[in-house]
Structure 1
Amino acid sequence: MSESDLSKFFEWALGGFNAIAFDLVVALVLLVVGWMVSNWVGRLVRRVATRSTRIDPTIVPIAHSVAVWSIRVVVLVAVLARLGVQTASIIAVLGAAGLAIGLALQGTLQNIAAGIMLLALRPLRAGESVSVAGKADGTVDEVGLFLTRFKQSDGTFITLPNSLIWGSPIVNFSRHDTRRAEIQVLVPYGEDIDLALSELRKMVDTHELALKDPEPLVMVSGYRDNAMLVTVRAWAAASNWFELQNDMNRQAQRVLKAAGIELPPSRPRC
C-alpha cells in the first residue's frame, strides 16, 4: 500500500469516525433534552390539572404518565433514527413483542382495561368515601392504570388491582349531597306505642342536623317475641351523616325513658 493510499484510508476512517461521533453526540443531546422536556411537561400537566376545578383529581396521575411517556417514546424513536437504526423494523418487532407480552400478561391488561373504565365511567373518584364489597372500605386516595389505593378508617392504606374493583359492587357514600340515617328501637308490648312514636318524631324533628326535606319517618316496622320494632329515618347532609346517626342512637333511649316508656333489657351479642 502506497503512502497516498494510506493517507486516503486514514482520511476516510477519520471522516467516518467524525460522522459517527457527531451522530452519537446529537443522539445523546436529543435523549437528555427529550427526557428533561418530558419531565417538565409532566410537572406542568400535573400542576395545571391539580389547580383546575374542572378536572377530576382521579385522572391526574394518568394524564401525567401519558404526557411523560408519549414524549419519551418519540424521543427514543428519534434517537434510534439518528443512529441509523431502521425504526420501521423496530416498531414492527416491538409490535410483535407487545402481542406476545400481552398474551403473557393478560391479568395486567385486564387491570389496565378496568382502570380505563373506572376513569371513564367514574364510579369512584379521589377523595370519595366508598365500599368495595368484601374488599375495602375507606376514602379513595388514587386511581391508577393498574391499581387503586384506599385510605381506611383506621388510617391504614389498602391497594387493590383495578380488575378486582371493576368486578365488584361499589357503594359510593359521597356521590350525593345527602344521606339517610336510620336506627331501630324495640318498644315492649304493653307500652304506649303512640307515645313512643310521637317522642321519637319530636326527637328527629328538632334535631339541628336532620333535614326537613325529605321528611323524617318514624314507623312500626316489625314485631319481635316481646316487643315492637320501631324504625326512625332522617336525612342529613352527607358530611353530617355520622354525627346524626350517632346522636339518634344516643338520644332515642333517653327520650323514651324520659317519657316513662320501659325498654327491654339489651342482650350482648356473642
Structure 2
Amino acid sequence: MNPLFMTLTASAAQSSSFWTVLVQKFNEWSQSGPLSFVLRLATGLLIVLIGKLLIVWISRIVKRSLSHAKKINDLMARFILQLVNIVGWIFLAIAFLQHMGINMGPVLAGLGLTGVILGFAFQETLGNLLSGVMIVINAPFRIGDYIDSGSFSGTVTDMDMICVILSTPDNKRITISNKLVWGSPIVNYSNVERRRVELSVSVAYGSDLQVVKEVVWKILGSYAEILPDPAPVVEVNKLNASSIDFVVRPWTKPADYWKVYWRFQEQICDKLAEVGISVPFNQLDVHMINS
C-alpha cells in the first residue's frame, strides 16, 4: 500500500478521534450546567492572561540578555524573540485546552503523522524558515546594511522568519523570501570598515602623463573623506584605441563612497582642461593611399 495513503488515513483517524473527544466534552459541559462551564472558562482565561504576562516577562529577559551579547546581532535577536513567543503561545494553548478537559494526547500523537502532510503542503514556507535560520546564524548582513542579493539591491529594513525586506534608493519596498536570499550571492556594502572607490580617467594620446597624475593627486588631496591608509593608487591602466586610461583607486568609509565618486567625476574634466589636457572621444583615423 502507498505510504502516503497510509499516512493520510492514519492522520484522518487521529483527527476524527480528536473531534469525537471535543464533541463529547461539549456534551459534558452542557450537562454540567452553565455555571460550571463559565467557571472553568473563566479560570482558563485567567491561565491565558497569566501565561501571556509570563511570555512578555520572559521575552524581556531574553531581549535584555541578547542586547548584552556581543556575538548576537539585531536579526538574530529578533529571530530568537519571535521563536520564544511562538513556542510560548503553543504551550499556552495546550495548557488552556487541557484545563478545559480536552485530552491533547490524540492531537499530539497526530502531529507526527500530519507533519509529513504539512511538510509537502508547506515545503516552501519550511524552506524559508530554515533559510532564515541560516541567515541568522551566519549573519551576512544587519538591519540598515546596503546589500545585493541576486538581482536586487537595497537597504535591509526588516527581516522575519519568512522574508527579508529591502528599501531601494528610489524608495521602493522589495520583499524577498529567505530561501531566495540565502540561495543567492549576498554582497554587503555596509558591514565593512572601508571601501575602495573605482575611478577611471581617460586622456588623449600625446598628453603629459605626469601632469595628469599631478592633477588627479591634487583633487584626491582636497577630499577629507579619502583615507590615508591604504594609500590611493593612480596609475596608467590601459592603452585604448583612442585614449590612455588611468585607474584611480582611493579608499573611503562606506558612507562616503558615492560622495567621492560623484564629486571626482564632476571635477576631473574641468581640472584637466585648466592645464590644457583634453578628454578624448572615440575616433578613427583613415589614411588614403593614392594608387
TM-score range, shorter chain: 0.7 to 0.9
TM-score, normalised relative to structure 2: 0.78
Please name the residue that 2:145 is paired with. Answer: 128
2:192 maps to 1:176: yes
Deviation string, structure 1 residues 48-94 (Cα, Å, up to 9, x no partner): 47965845222343233222222211111112222232223221112
**Where does 1:1-270 land on structure 2 (aligned, <5 Å)?**
16-17=32-33, 22-38=39-55, 41-42=58-59, 44=60, 48=64, 54=70, 55-134=72-151, 136-265=152-281
Structure 2 unmatched ranges of 5 or more: 1-28, 284-291
Q: Specify the alignment match of 1:8 in structure 2.
A: none
- Determine what percentage of the aligned residue pairs are the same residue: 25
| Residue 213 to residue 237, structure 1, CA distance change in 2 (3 Å) | same
TM-score by length of 1: 0.83
Deviates more, 1:150-159 or 1:257-266: 257-266
SS at match of 2:247: strand
Deviation at 1:31, TM superposition (A): 2.7
Residue identity in the other structure for 2:96:
V
Question: Displacement, 1:98?
Answer: 2.4
**Separation of aligned partners in 1, 2:282 and 2:269:** 11
Q: Give the distance between the partners of 1:155 and 1:31, measured in 2 at CA.
A: 42
Residue identity in the other structure for 2:154 = G
Instruction: Give the C-alpha shift of residue 175 in structure 1.
Output: 1.1
Unaligned runs of 5+ in 1: 1-12
Q: Is the 8 A contact 1:125 1:143 kept in 2?
A: no
- CA shift for structure 1 position 22: 4.0
Instruction: Choose between structure 1 and 2: higher strand proportion.
Output: 1
Report the number of matched residues. Answer: 253
> Residues of 2 paired with 1:15 and 1:144: CA distance?
46
**What do you get for the CA RMSD once the two structures are aligned?**
2.7
Query: C-alpha distance in 2, partners of 1:257/1:53?
Result: 56
Q: Deviations over 1:136-177 (max 9, x none)?
A: 211101121100001110111110001111111111001111
Amino acid across the alignment from 1:250: E
